[in-house]
Amino acid sequence: MKTTFRRTASAAALAALCAAGAGCRSAQAWRADADRAAAGRLAAAREAEGVREEALEVESPSDSLRRRLLVGQALPVFDPASLGIRDLPTNRYWRAGDRLLPGREGADAAFAPAGTNALEIGLQDAVRIAAANSPDFRADKERLFATALALDLASREFHSTLLGALEAAAESSPGADGGGREGSHGETAKAGLRRTFENGVSTDASLALNLAGMLTGERKTAWGAVADLSVSIPLLRGSGSLVRRESLTQAERDLVYAVREFEQRKRAFVADVARAYLSLLLAGRTRRNEEENWRRVVVSTRRSRRMADASRLSKAAFDQAHQSELAARAGWIAACQSYENALDSFKIRIGLPPDARVEPRERDLEELQALVARFLAPPDAEADAAGAAAPAAPAPETGRALEVAFGRRGDVRNARDRVEDAQRHLLVAEDALRSEITLGGAARVGEPATAAMAREGRDRGEFKMKDGTATGSLKIDLAFERTEERNAYRNALVALETAVRDYQKAEDDLKATVRQDVRALSQTREQLAIQSRAVELAERRVRNQDLLLEAGRADMTDLLDAQAALLAARNALDRAVTDWRVQELALQRDLGTLDATADGVWTETDLAALGVSAGAAEDTE
C-alpha cells in the first residue's frame, strides 16, 4: 500500500510540476509572443497586397525628440508623463522595466537639438519627426497592430487547444457509525485536447488522473484514470467551411482592409504635414513681406516730411503717408503674431511641445520658388496683351488620372470588397434559417478514485477497454421558430444594398476628387504665371512712382498705392507657389502614387511617366 501511494504521489507531483511550468510564462514572454504573432499576420497581409514590408513600431523609443527638446531646452514639464511612458515613476501598478522592451532609437533619432538653440527642420524632416511623434499617426499604427492581433485570435478557433488543470480538495464529514468525523482528500490532474474543424466538426479528448484517500493514520489512498472522447458533427445548419469559418474570413479581410487604409493614411499624412509646413513657410514669408513694406513706407514717410518742410508737398499728403506708415506697422505686427500662432500649431501637429524652439528651413521656400521659375515662361508684353482677349484654356484631361487612381487606391477597393462581404454575410444569415441536425458521440474508459474506494481497501480504479461506455446522440431542431434569424436575414439584405451604395459613393467621390485635383493643379499653375507677372509690374510701378514723385510729377497717394499693390502681389505670389506645391502633393495622394513608409520617408512619382497630364507636375523633375 505504501509503495503504491508513493508512486501515485510521485506521478501526481510530476504532472503538477509539468502543468505549472507550462502555465507560468512571464508577461514579457506573452508580450513577445503577441508581437511575433502580429508581425507575422501583417507580413502575410502585406505580401498578399504587394505592399512593402516594414516594421510597425507601437512602443515609444527610449529617447524621443519630444523628450530631448523638453530636457535639452529646459522647457517646463508639469508631470513625468509629458516626457514619455518610460519616465513614469514606479509604483504598485507600474514598473517600466517589467513591461517594456529595452530602449531603442526612434525614427527621429537623427534630430538632435544643439543645447537651447532652435532646431531647424525641412519638409522631409518634418514628416519624419511627425511620423515618430504625432499622436494621430501613432494611433493609426496602433489600430493596425490591434487588427493584426484580432486576426490571430480569430485563427485560434480552428487550432488544436491544449487544456490542463490541477485540483486539490479536502473534506470532513460525519463518520459512518455516527461516533466521529472522517477526513478525506483528493487530487486531480487533467490534460486534454480540443479541436474545431473548418467544416463544423468538433472533438474533445481528455485524460484525468486522480488520487483519493482518507486522512487517517493509515493514509489509505487509491488512484484512478479516466479517458473521455466526444465528437459533434453538424449536418445542416452551421455545417460547411464557408459558414463555420466566417468569423476568421472576416478577420482576414479586415486586416487586408486595414493594411490598404494605412497605406492611404500614410499618403494623406505626408500631404497634411506638407500642407502645414508650407503654410508655416508662407506665414513666415508674409511676415517678411509686411516688414519690408513697413520699412519702405517709413522711408517714404521720412521723404514726405522733408518735402513738406520744403513746401514741395502738402501737409495733407504728409499725414496720409504717416497714416500709411502706422497701418503698415500694424500689418507687420499682425503678421508676426500670425506666424507665431502658425508655428505653435505646426509643432503640435508633428507631436512636439508648442514652446519648443523649432524653426522651419526658410530656404525651402526659396528653392521651391526657383523650381517654379523653371517652368514659368518669360514675360512677354505682346503675349500679355493678346492673352487678355484669349478664351479660357480647356479643362485638362482626367481619364488617365482616374485609371491610375482606381488601380492604386486600395482603400477604394475596400468598398468593392465589402460588397462581397455583405453577400457572404447574407449567405451565412440564410444558413441560420435552416433546421439543425447534429450527430454526437462520446466514449469513456476508466474509473475515478474515491474516498470510499480507499476506505474499502481498493488501491486503484478499473481501467479496462471492455468496461468502457459509448453513447451516440442525434439532435434535431426543426425550423419552426426563427424570428431572430429571419430578422437577421432581412437586415443582411439591407446591408448588401448599403454596401453597394457605399461603393457607388466611394467611386463617385474618387472621380470627383481626382477631377478637382487635376483642375486645381492646372489652375494653380496659371495663378503662378499671373502672380509672377503681377509682381514684376508692381515692382516697376513702385520704381516709376518713386522717380516721378522725386521729379514732382506725381503725388504721395500714387506711391503709397503702388507700394500697397507690391505688397499684395508678393503675398499673392508666395501663396500661389505654396498652393501649387500643396496641390501637387494632394493629387499624388489621391492618385495613390505618393509612396511613404511608417517612419515618414516618402518619395514622389513622375506623373508624366504614368501618362497623367496634371499641369506643371511633369515639368518639375
Task: Give the Å distances, CA to CA, from 493 to 144, 248, 427.
Answer: 29, 21, 10
Kindly tell me if the per-residue pLDDT of 5 is higher than 50.
no
Provide the β-strand partners of residue 232: 202, 440
Please give the pLDDT value at position 217: 54
Confidence of residue 394 (pLDDT cuts 50, 70, 90): low
For the cut 60, the answer to whether the pLDDT of residue 449 exceeds it is yes
Does residue 145 sit in the same domain as residue 167?
A: no
For 566-619, the DSSP string reads HHHHHHHHHHHHHHHHHHHHHHHHHHT--EE-TTS-EE---GGGGT---TTGGG
pLDDT tens across 139-160, in order? Answer: 999 999 999 999 999 988 887 7
Q: What is the pLDDT of residue 389?
A: 47
In a domain, 290, yes or no: yes
pLDDT at 607: 82
In a domain, 354, yes or no: yes
Q: What is the mean pLDDT of residues 398-422?
A: 92
Q: Which pLDDT belongs to residue 18?
A: 52
Q: Helices (H), strands (E): how many in the chain?
A: 16, 10
Q: What is the per-residue pLDDT across 182-233, written as a single tens digit (0 to 9) for each? A: 667 677 888 888 888 888 888 888 888 877 766 665 566 777 788 888 898 8
Q: What would the mean pLDDT of 57-66 be, rounded to a whole number?
A: 86
Does some domain include residue 424? no
Lowest-confidence pick of 237-246, 481-490, 539-548, 610-619: 610-619
User: What length does the chain have?
Assistant: 621
Are residues 222 and 316 located together in one domain of the fold? no
Averaged pLDDT for residues 485-493: 94
Last-in-domain residue among 139, 156, 173: 156
Does residue 491 lie within any of the structural domains? Answer: no
Task: Judge if 348 and 367 occupy the same domain.
Answer: yes
Domain boundary among 156, 186, 201: 156
pLDDT for 428-442, tens place per residue? 999 999 998 889 888
Domain boundary among 91, 124, 156: 156
- 198, 53: one domain: no
Same domain, 80 and 195: no
Tell me, what's the pLDDT at 457?
65
- Cα separation, 536 vs 572, whole angstroms: 12
Looking at residue 153, what is its pLDDT? Answer: 92
Is 430 within a domain? no
What sign results for the dihedral spanned by CA atoms 450, 452, 457, 461?
Answer: negative
490 in any annotated domain: no
Q: Is pLDDT above 80 for 174?
A: no
DSSP-assigned states of every residue in 133-171: H-HHHHHHHHHHHHHHHHHHHHHGGGS-EEEEEEEEEEE
Q: Same domain, yes or no, for 53 and 137?
A: yes
Identify whether residues 240 and 260 lie together within a single domain. no
| Same domain, residue pair 274 and 383 | yes
CATH number at residue 531: 1.20.1600.10
Split at pLDDT 50, 70, 90, the class of 122 is very high
Query: Which pLDDT score, from 0 to 100, does residue 10 have?
Result: 45
| 614 within 8 A of 518, measured Cβ to Cβ | yes
Query: What is the distance in angstroms between the CA of the first residue and the CA of the last residue of the chain?
Result: 92
Q: How many domains does the chain have?
A: 3
pLDDT of residue 178: 58
383 and 505: one domain? yes
Could you read off the pLDDT of 534-588 as tens digits, one per residue?
999 998 988 888 888 777 777 778 888 888 889 999 999 999 999 999 999 999 9
373 within a domain of the structure (yes/no): yes
Q: At 106, is the pLDDT very low, low, confident or very high (cuts 50, 70, 90)?
A: confident
Answer yes or no: do 352 and 225 share one domain.
no
pLDDT digits (tens, 9 = 90+) for 19-41: 455 556 788 888 889 999 999 99
* Residues spanned by the domain of 44: 2-156
Q: How much is the average pLDDT of 415-429?
A: 95
Tell me, yes or no, whether 267 and 389 share the same domain: yes
pLDDT over 70 (residue 65):
yes
Query: Of 98-112, 186-200, 367-381, which one has max mean pLDDT?
Result: 186-200
Residue 544 belongs to some domain of the structure: yes
My answer on whether 268 and 388 are in the same domain is yes
Smallest CA-to-CA distance from 160 within 222, 226, 126, 204 is with 204
